[in-house]
Amino acid sequence: MLFLVGMDKKYELIEPLMTCHCQRCGEERQWSLYKETELASLFFITVWRFTPDYFLVCDVCQDMVKLSRVQGKQLVHMGSRDQKIHDEVEGLVIEHQTINDKS
Ligand SMILES: [Zn+2]
């Protein structure tokens, strides 16, 4: 008997999320939050969803910053209105872009 097993990745746009400085663009930009879920399927039916990963993407240059799952969840539930999360994520973006510039 033949089993058709598949793995798939699904990207979901959560919302245009926050504005912060993008070093690549050199300007203040809007960043969107994407949720990436890996799915396992059997006979084209989803049988398992893996824990999702969260990415922040610059709307203009498409630079992608991976968030920790905890931060991703916090952003989904509370949004960047929470100043503490906003600052944390902004720090992460700066860190990501600084490391990339050096390499
Ligand atoms: Zn950008």
95: confidence class by pLDDT, cuts 50, 70, 90? very high
Instruction: Tell which residue, 100, 101, 91, 28, has the closest CA to residue 60.
Output: 28
Instruction: State in Å: Cα 84 to ligand 1 middle.
Output: 22
In sequence order, the 6+-apart residues with CB closer than 8 A to the CB of 25 are 58, 60, 61
Instruction: State in Å: Cα 63 to ligand 1 middle.
Output: 6
Distance between CA atoms of 45 and 101, rounded to whole angstroms?
A: 42
Residues with CB under 5 A from ligand 1 (ion): 22, 24-25, 29, 58, 60-61
Residue 78 has pLDDT above 80, yes or no: no
Going by the DSSP 8-state scheme, the letter that residue 90 receives in this structure is H
| Collapsed DSSP state (helix, strand, coil) of residue 43 | coil
Instruction: State in Å: Cα 26 to ligand 1 middle.
Output: 7
What value does the mean pLDDT take over residues 83-98?
89
Q: How far is CA 66 from the centre of its chain?
A: 5
Beta bridge partners of 55: 34, 66
Instruction: State in Å: Cα 8 to ligand 1 middle.
Output: 28
Instruction: State in Å: Cα 98 to ligand 1 middle.
Output: 13
Instruction: State in Å: Cα 61 to ligand 1 middle.
Output: 4
Give the per-residue pLDDT at 34. Answer: 93
Give the per-residue pLDDT at 17. Answer: 73
